[in-house]
Chain A
């Protein structure tokens, strides 16, 4: 046990000491700490004179807790069915699993580590102090209980994931059984809402509120127990508090029993999930995406084998096309395209039904471009810079930059056409406006891609993705503001017959700026350094 305590204490101590070398993180932690202290001070000084005021329906908060917990529960179950969540890290596997320390103690260590991370993760709840107080009249007791609910859901969710993994790993029948049970449970909740909706003739919102605040909901494992605990604290019901905690304890005991009983060797079971978690974390740190373990196996067909085209720098583009074809049969069309097309279609339908003004169409364009920004920030060129080949290929830097960015420039064009084709059809918008919207969307994609090149050129190997996002977003706002302004002015000045031209100044500016950025930063490959990330 000494080793485990030493490990926990030393890791914590070293993590604190490492902040000395990371001033940015230190400032961030200090900021978070001050915000929490500020919120607590606010809570104390704001007093409780608000009691009796007209607060929001408490059930809304219950719906939020239940909804978030159900979502987390689903992700944990899913994780258990694929790789199993993990309480451990790779160093634990390499150093602790092989050491002469009892596996039960190691499991306890894993649980404590996860608990620590959950405590940190749950800090965001304290940001909501002012919100919770103003809207629901809650005090410290309720806020602390919310925090406890979050920690309970995360820790026991992790345990459940491991339990499910051990139970179903390599056994399709059991996997199907777990899936069926989960789907039935979720369908049951949905059916309850539909039943209340039909039976009492209330709206869908009210039906959902009634279901989540019913006593039956409190018995749904983990998510329901969390809401029961919270309501117990709010209503000062010791019975509800003890019952929910008892249910959590029972689940924990069963899971630990599964993990440690008989011949069950959880080392082997958590090994795969630990490796997967490690790879995913590494990839996330480096801004890469990793192929999901247990995902669809890619079969290379004879007729699809080979890059087929390209010479010199253009080979990079054809290679990207091949890679995209391997990921999606329709090359440029993927889940993101589908998401935006369906979203635009649904919005178009709603806008038409509610007869909302044409100005709302620009909101859709803005939103689509905004979402695209976060997707395109990790373009193909960025991926290419993590391998040495692009630096070694004997071609000029600008040719390589353009070739490696080509698919990132083409995808927004295809997406834009599809999104606004559907939108024009469903909303009944002027087709010409749709064409210019698609062009504006594609031009936004081009400028985002060019910005990643500028970012690479200026900041080079800046591993922090948050810094990258803020840097690009700041620059983006700065450079696009005038063109957006001109487009807004055009909206007021142009006659109705020429209203479709409103986005043209913005599009034109984006294209010009993209060309300028490519020309200015074309020497990126010659100037950048390869770091492998």
Chain B
């Protein structure tokens, strides 16, 4: 469950990214965050993963007040989240397999059980036969699927994706969105930021619209 109440985020340079944000995404729910570029979508997602802290208000994730977490507790919060980043953050110095392995290494998984999970995750996104490939040799859509595999390999309860379809053509984008819907159907809470209005019309899910840092009604 993700719950924002009266959240405000102001940067040191005086720019207010978010103002008086309040909403709740129940466990197992899927929601889209949309809005023009610069509306505060990314900031909102970054607050959930404690990459940034709210200036005021409270952000509750799985019953924990994220803004008040000690820095030592933040890694354990993040292990319950699956994050797909806008800039992907793929490590190009290692194979597809090792990229997906990273969250399990961080969590201290037994390596044999971990290999099985990595293959299962790659299977789900359709990259099973590319596990030894270098990420640089993958197409844009495949790279995005690699990011999704990395985000779900540790079976998080919440999946958060920032513009997962931004640089893909419409066919690939629909594939990716179908994947997220599949995760939602097996009980994962899914929150996706996107400005892709073409996709929005097809999806029967809750939509949170941001406008200059405020939630539109």
Partners in one complex: no
